Structure 1
């Protein structure tokens, strides 16, 4: 069920009832199945919580009007924020930590963007998507070619204040990652939502991250016995 709003019109069965499955896999013990079913009930509750949060996000009141139609340098020439929407009424932007002060881009951002590049043809059916970095556009494109990205649309914000205005630059001028969503209606562009979880909201012993986590890498590792680990991060090359 894709639309969380539909769940409000139905009485949901208790998660524990849905999770009461018989033995399913070769050699599993009764102890394993009891523990697995208890975990399955929690996974069902987590799915329901994700749906509730998504519905609450969609119901946000109108966000602030964007103060200016920022001008960026794109791969095919200059482009304004409003032009990035194309035919869509929603624009997602990701600020890539590859500013002019960096010799190489952030490995974590790069890992995330590599995953999104494969999904981008599907994403672009629903919304517009722009990857923004503060380095000159030629430098951004050179790394795109090195990495083999095919579908990401890159823009340089080196000549505007977009990074500073939308939380992708700290007071010292260092670039930070940022995920923002904008909407356009009647010619008016508004800010809809931003990822605002970070170091100040992180729980003890955990890396700062949002929820749901947008990185497929961590989603996969969270399903394994070793989890994410505490001493490993993606690299630009292996």
Structure 2
């Protein structure tokens, strides 16, 4: 992005010209100031994305990771299918859990509808440590249609790519891999957790992949400080 040729965010906010019924001058002034900050945020997000895309080659994947899918065993290489990039989300649903992580489930429920679009550009897979039969049963229960689920039967992939915590419990992870000239490399992981969290905030990545939080961030009360999604709400889904 050529910052030299960009119009200032404040000028773009001024040009925007929107208003809504019965708003006060004080509201409009504050909203225009916020709009300028939102424009700057958009630009910063794009700068970070450019920097991410410019990363040098990551570590080569030397192990022959294998997973159990609905139709039998597959390798990491198989998960690429005909794509050069593979995204793997590590789902917190290990064999020690009676039920899967509600936070992971909330996010994956949103991803489920996006999978057909995502897979036009990159390969996508969800890996968990529970047996594949257990994962498919929950997929049916949840009403997911598109999420490709795989079981890490040996825990080796999950351990190497930070989906198992120091205590041996589940950890959520998001990893991107590339393949070029037959060589698979790790490209990116958010690398944000408790060590990188700011005071008073739960650990979160940037970007934050949770559509739930994105919506709540636009509301007057924002993210509730002590509320988290649940697998069920009364008799609802």
What TM-score bracket applies, with the shorter chain setting the length?
A: over 0.9
Give me the whole-angstrom Cα distance separating, in 2, the residues matched to 1:106 and 1:125: 28
TM-score, length of structure 1 as denominator length: 0.95
1:18 maps to 2:12: yes
- Partner of residue 184, structure 1: 179
| Shift, 1:158, TM fit | 2.2
Alignment of structure 1 residues 212-231 onto 2, 5 Å? 212-231=207-226
Unaligned runs of 5+ residues in structure 2 are none
1:35 maps to 2:26: no
Unaligned runs of 5+ residues in structure 1 are 1-6
Give me the whole-angstrom Cα distance separating, in 2, the residues matched to 1:23 and 1:141: 48
TM-score, length of structure 2 as denominator length: 0.96
Q: Greater CA deviation, 90-99 or 165-174?
A: 165-174
Give me the whole-angstrom Cα distance separating, in 1, the residues matched to 2:4 and 2:124: 34
Match of 1:211 among 197, 206, 209: 206
Match of 1:147 among 119, 125, 142: 142
Match of 2:168 among 160, 164, 173: 173
Alignment of structure 1 residues 72-87 onto 2, 5 Å? 72-87=67-82
Match of 2:87 among 80, 87, 92: 92
Map Cα deviations across residues 104-133 of structure 1 (whole Å, 9 max, x no partner). 000000000000001111001000001000
